[in-house]
Amino acid sequence: MCVRRSLVGLTFCTCYLASYLTNKYVLSVLKFTYPTLFQGSHVLAWLPASVLFVGMIYAGSRALSRLAIPVFLTLCNVAEVIICGYQKCFQKENTSPAKICSALFLLAAAGCLPFNDSQFDPDGYFWAVIHLFCVGAYKILRKSQKPSALSDIDQQYLNYIFSVVLLAFASHPTGDLFSVLDFPFLYFYRFHGSCCASGFLGFFLMFSTVKLKSYLAPAQCAAWIFFAKIITAGLSILLFEAILTSATMGCWSKLALLVSSAHTLTRKARRIAAHRCHGEERSLGSVSELGRQGQNLSQIGSLV
């Protein structure tokens, strides 16, 4: 079982890394910034979520084409802050102090980025803000409809079908339908290959994410997602043009403080998983304490 969970986690990280790097190549190197799908009675109820999903695709593509991947991922974390604030203010959920501190760290890091980004692009940040609000609203709407008669796979299937229809009709009024004909790499094999690879990777990323959440506990999912973001951000600096300043690194160091605050809980979760895998019965504490620590870790991890 441990081997299977590890394979699921590694598969997710591989798809996450390959998908982001491929999309960044198409959007920034080839400069194909037109709307595409490779960035990702019950049917009618899910329609508002599909509209938000299209907003995520369009705004995310625009933002990623103009921003470095580490900057983009840092800004995307603010979507979880929106969810945390909504749950605290409107749903009156009990929020742990660790989660509140994590949200404040992420908000501070994202807020400092525009003032310290040597490659500052106002349009990129504009689309990133729209993207993160769409992501936050999508997740809030998705949680509000639980339990849903639609499975996670069914939801994603409807999202992609609706995206094809809506983006096809929207391509004419936005001018993208005719502008794409002037794209310089339109008939190049590397463009066709990159788009096909991006589409397949987007599908496998979605599928591996569903499997990751079904096989692993929330705390372990959070750890794998965080690991995928770290390796993606790190490798993107080596593969794509990025100017790193001390001020920008200072903003990202706030994320390191967040990680260090969750480090103890992460090690505890790993020890719990290791004991379960080896069938050991030795207790690591009371059941209530372990449950509370696991919940805190999953809350912190969801923000990273």
Average pLDDT, the chain: 75
Structure letter (DSSP) for residue 90: T
pLDDT in tens, 265-285: 545 555 555 565 555 444 444
* 93 has a pLDDT exceeding 50: yes
- Tell me, what's the pLDDT at 280? 46
Closest Cα partner for 76 from 117, 136, 27?
Answer: 136
Structure letter (DSSP) for residue 229: H
Q: What is the CA radius of gyration of the chain?
A: 20
- Tell me, what's the pLDDT at 133? 93
pLDDT in tens, 32-85: 766 554 444 556 678 888 899 989 988 998 898 888 888 888 888 888 888 888
- Tell me, what's the pLDDT at 245? 65
Query: How far, in Å, CA of 212 to CA of 230, rounded?
Result: 18
- Tell me, what's the pLDDT at 45? 73
Q: Which domain holds residue 7?
A: 2-303
* 131 has a pLDDT exceeding 90: yes
Cβ atoms of 46 and 150 within 8 Å: the answer is: yes
* 263 has a pLDDT exceeding 60: no
Encoding tokens for residue 208? Answer: 């591996």
Q: Could you give the angle at the alpha carbon of 193 between the alpha carbons of 188 and 194, nearest 5°?
A: 100
State pTM to two decimals: 0.74
Number of domains within the chain: 1
* 252 has a pLDDT exceeding 80: no
Query: How far, in Å, CA of 45 to CA of 148, rounded?
Result: 10
